[in-house]
A and B are shown apart, each in its own frame.
Chain A
Amino acid sequence: MKRAGPILIPGLVLLALGTARAMPPNWQTILKSFAKKTQAAVAYRETEHVGVLYGKLRASGFWCYQRPDHLSDIMLTPVRKQYGMNRKEAWSINARGQRRTIALALVPDLRMLAQTLESLLSGQPQTLHQLFHVAQRVKPPEWILTLSPRRDAGTRSLRSLVLRGRGPTLRDLTLLYPNGDWSHYRLTPVSWRTCQKEGF
Chain B
Amino acid sequence: MSKRRILILGGGVLLALGLLLDPPHPVNRLSGFLPEASGTRTRLILSQVKHGLDNHMILIGLTGAPVRQLVQASRALQGELSRNPEFAAVLDHSPAPKAFSSSSLRHEILFRYRYLLVHPPGRGRPWSTAGLHRAFLEDLGTLAGPAGPQFADLLRRDPTGAWTGWLRQIHLLPEPPERHGVWFVRHPSMALLAAVLVHSGWDLSHDTRALRAIRQETRQAGLDLTHLRIGGVAPIATALSRRIHTRMAELAITSTLLLLIGLGLLFRSIKTALLLFAIPALAVAFALLAAGWIFGSLNALSLACAGVVIGMVVDHPLYFWTHARLHPESLADHRRTVLTAAVASGVGYLGFLSAGVPDLVQIGALGAIGLIGGGLITVALGPVPVRTLRRDPAGSGSPMPRGHPGFALLLAGLGGVLLLVHPLHWRAGSLSQSGLPKALMRTTQELRRAMGTPQINHYLVVTGAHLETVLDRTQALQDLLEEQRREGAKLRFLTVTRFLPPPSLQIRRERVIPNPALLHRRLEHAIRGLPFTPAFFSPFSHALAQSRKLPVLNLPRLLKTRWRFLVQSELLRLGHRWASWVPLGSPTSDPRLSRFLKKHPIPHLHRIHLSRALSHLQQDLASRLVEIGMAVLSLVVLFLGAFTRSARRTLLLVATPVLGVSTTLALLNTAGIRPDLDMLIGLFLVFGLGLDYSIFLSVPRSPLGQTTRDVILISMLIVLAVFLPLILSGVPMLTTIGFTVCLGVLLDTAVAFSLATRPSSGRAVP
Contact = CB atoms under 8 A, between A and B. Distances in A.
A55 interface: yes
Contacts of B253: none
Given A59-B144, A78-B140, A115-B177, A106 B149 contact: no
Interface residues of B, number: 41
A54 B164 CA distance: 25
B143 A57 contact: yes
A48 B140 CA distance: 12
Contacts of A73: 145-146
A5 B146 contact: yes
Interface residues of A, number: 53
B644 interface: no
Give the interface SS of chain A, mostly helix, strand, loop or mixed: mixed
Given A2-B101, A100-B168, A103-B175, A94 B150 contact: no
A157 B98 contact: no
A118 to B, nearest CB: 10
Contact of B532 (A53, A75, A77, A115): A53
A102 to B, nearest CB: 5
A4 interface: yes
Contact of A179 (B148, B149, B177): B149
Interface in B60-109: 93-94, 96, 98-101
A77 to B, nearest CB: 8
Contacts of B143: 48, 50, 53, 57
Contact of A106 (B170, B176, B533): B170
Contacts of A87: 177
A4 B149 CA distance: 12
Interface string A176-200: 0101011101000000000000000
Nearest to B138: A94
A21 interface: no
Contacts of B535: 52
Given A10-B146, A79-B140, A50 B152 contact: yes
Contacts of A102: 164, 167-168
A22 interface: no
A111 B145 contact: no
Interface string A64-97: 0000000001010111110100011000101000
B441 to A, nearest CB: 26
Contacts of A185: 146
A48 B145 CA distance: 9
Interface string B143-184: 111111110100010000000110110100111111101000
Contact of A5 (B99, B147, B174, B452): B147
B100 A2 contact: yes
Interface string A137-153: 00000000000000000
Contacts of B152: 50, 52, 181
Given A8-B146, A79-B141, 8 more contacts: A5-B146, A54-B533, A57-B140, A73-B145, A78-B140, A102-B164, A103-B175, A158-B150
8 closest residue pairs by CB, A with B = A5-B147, A105-B175, A181-B149, A81-B141, A59-B144, A79-B141, A9-B146, A106-B96
